[in-house]
Structure 1
Amino acid sequence: MYPPVARSVRRRGVAYLAPQAAGNTWYPDPFTAPVEPNEPGRTSALRAIDDATATAEAAGVARDRIVVHGFSEEACLASESVARNPDRYGGLVALGGRLIGESIAPDEYEGDLEGTPVFIGVAMAIPTSLLNAPTSLRAFSNGSAGT
């Protein structure tokens, strides 16, 4: 059974893995809060994304065919996961989210994302999604997580 969002973009040969948040929330405070109050939820959520990626790879899907995506909290987690596990992905799509934390220091993210398409979408209707969006983009610029 496809989740509702997957039904609208259903394609033959495409699998959708959608981890479920423990207690239906990924982390308790806003993504713009300092990281510490969002622990251990943040770390648990990032592990769920890592596990989904590992599941896809174990099924024979190469990482450069995996698109990590999310909306709102999930967009923040998708961004954070890709930035902290740099490699050539099929893509990153972050809608209404960005890297997690009160402030973003692009130099804290090291590694190479060269060739990975990145789309970070923000909405005027969700003003918090605009906060530090340019800094998030810089963290993914030039195909590397830390440049």
Structure 2
Amino acid sequence: MSAKNSTTVSDGFSPEERAAMKERAAELRAEGKKGAKKADDLQAVLDRIAQMAPDDRALAERVHATVTAAAPQLSPKTWYGMPAYANADGKIVVFFQDSGKFNYRYSTLGFQDEANLDDGDLWPVSYALQKWSPAVEKKVAALVKAAVS
């Protein structure tokens, strides 16, 4: 999702995006027990993001939008109190750790061993994230697409 919405990059979700997510959660609940679980997991992620400090929240909202657009097959859920995205087996592929969680100077975008990012004998699985930009969005989308490939 680009920064060309009715909001700027640093503002996080637009009112339209928030409304669409609420509508999707309601649709999932209407699908029955399995859909209700997905809706509850999505709501838990959105609630966790809403609790973050403004700068972390803005990053988390952009990560959420980018991950869900790049890999719609991943399911949002919380993992150790962090927004995370799991494959069909329920295993975490990617997560976002806000800087406030452990009082770090940067937020972290991390990948678990389910991510297909292998590159020889050494590859990064965690990325410091301080500011969102179109270049960051492009890199995150590419990483997430590779992780689920």
Q: Same fold (TM over 0.5)?
A: no
Q: Which has the higher strand share?
A: 2
Task: Give the TM-score, by structure 2 length.
Answer: 0.31
Task: Give the TM-score, by structure 1 length.
Answer: 0.31
